[in-house]
């Protein structure tokens, strides 16, 4: 997924396969952090990049990109990830302010939210991802003056395995409200795995829980294979996103949740560009046109 590493990885836990997308998002967050009109701050992002050979030479500031914001990858695509980070940060913090005290990051990747956001002291953050990714993150953060702002519980498991048992064994309380995040994950999971994940979140969530996830319209895979965002990503850093996306027909997870009584809202990224006054706007042959951000809440009894 974009933002995690659920596919094949190399010796350091993140190089190769989908793991490179975790580094791509870290690079975007580093660039966003250094912008004068930053939407999100992540001071740890560039440390992850520098620690992985595959991304050690990537830019961390727009000044290092010759064509600046005109660059489809480090300009527009990176700004997209910065906007997504801000929107999902806000969602998580609103959810804990509303009473959720368990945060579950599904495919946490190199996400540093446990360290950089201001959480209530009684909050618990569960980070689910493959063991190699979490070990890499632990080693990088362990070499920095970094401490989580609240309790953080790594859960080393692939989301295609029995992550539900691993999560509950790690201390997740099904009787307490929770907030779940699948940031850029579902593109990469087989259809059955997505259906299982949404079903599991529903079963594990009591009233007052919330969920945010990202989906991509199916036609996007066919209509935008020549989009500058995809071609620039492949050309500059060797990530062919279209080869990493699962090609199966996708379930309508937002509708599935609504049918189970959740309230849901579906937005384009451009909705939030307009709200914040900065970020990507639609353009011709736009790979972002098919992206949707879904927010769901399970009502209290």
Q: At what angle do helices 19-34 and 78-97 cross, to 10 degrees?
A: 90
pLDDT in tens, 156-173: 999 989 999 999 999 999
First to last CA, the chain: 34
**pLDDT value of position 242:** 86
pLDDT in tens, 13-47: 444 433 889 999 999 999 999 999 999 999 999 99
Structure tokens given for 226: 């020549």
Coil vs helix vs strand at 229 = helix
For residues 254-272, one letter each, b for 16 or more C-beta atoms within 10 angstroms of the residue's C-beta and e for the rest, the string is bebbeeeebebeeeebbeb
| Domains, in order of start, for the chain | 19-297 (3.40.50.150)
**222 close to 249: Cβ distance less than 8 angstroms:** no
The model's pTM is 0.93
Q: Comparing C-alpha atoms, which of 25, 55, 56, 59 is closest to residue 42?
A: 25
């Amino acid at each position: 997924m974009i933002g995690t590493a659920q596919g094949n990885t190399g010796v350091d836990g993140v190089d190769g396969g989908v793991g490179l997308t975790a580094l791509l998002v870290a690079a975007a967050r580093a660039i966003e952090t250094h912008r004068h009109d930053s939407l999100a701050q992540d001071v740890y992002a560039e440390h992850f990049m520098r620690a992985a050979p595959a991304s050690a030479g990537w830019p961390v500031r727009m000044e290092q990109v010759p064509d600046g914001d005109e660059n489809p990858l480090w300009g527009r695509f990176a700004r997209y990830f910065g906007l997504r980070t801000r929107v999902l940060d806000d969602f998580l913090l609103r959810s804990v302010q509303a009473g959720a005290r368990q945060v579950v990051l599904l495919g946490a990747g190199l996400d540093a939210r446990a360290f950089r956001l201001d959480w209530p002291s009684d909050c618990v953050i569960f980070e689910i991802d493959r063991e190699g990714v979490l070990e890499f993150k632990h080693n990088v953060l362990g070499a920095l003056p970094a401490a989580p702002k609240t309790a953080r519980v790594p859960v080393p498991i692939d989301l295609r395995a029995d992550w539900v048992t691993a999560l509950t064994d790690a201390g997740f309380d099904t009787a307490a409200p929770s907030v779940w995040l699948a940031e850029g994950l579902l593109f990469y999971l087989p259809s059955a795995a997505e259906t299982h994940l949404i079903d599991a979140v529903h079963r594990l969530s009591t009233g007052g829980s919330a969920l945010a996830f990202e989906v991509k319209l199916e036609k996007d895979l066919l209509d935008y294979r020549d989009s500058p965002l995809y071609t620039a990503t492949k050309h500059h850093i060797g990530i062919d996103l279209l080869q990493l996306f699962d090609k199966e027909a996708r379930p309508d997870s937002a509708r599935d949740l609504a049918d189970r009584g959740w309230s849901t809202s579906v937005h384009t990224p451009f909705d939030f560009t307009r709200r914040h006054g900065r970020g990507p706007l639609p353009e011709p042959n736009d790979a972002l046109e098919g992206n949707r951000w879904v927010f769901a809440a399970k009502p209290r009894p």
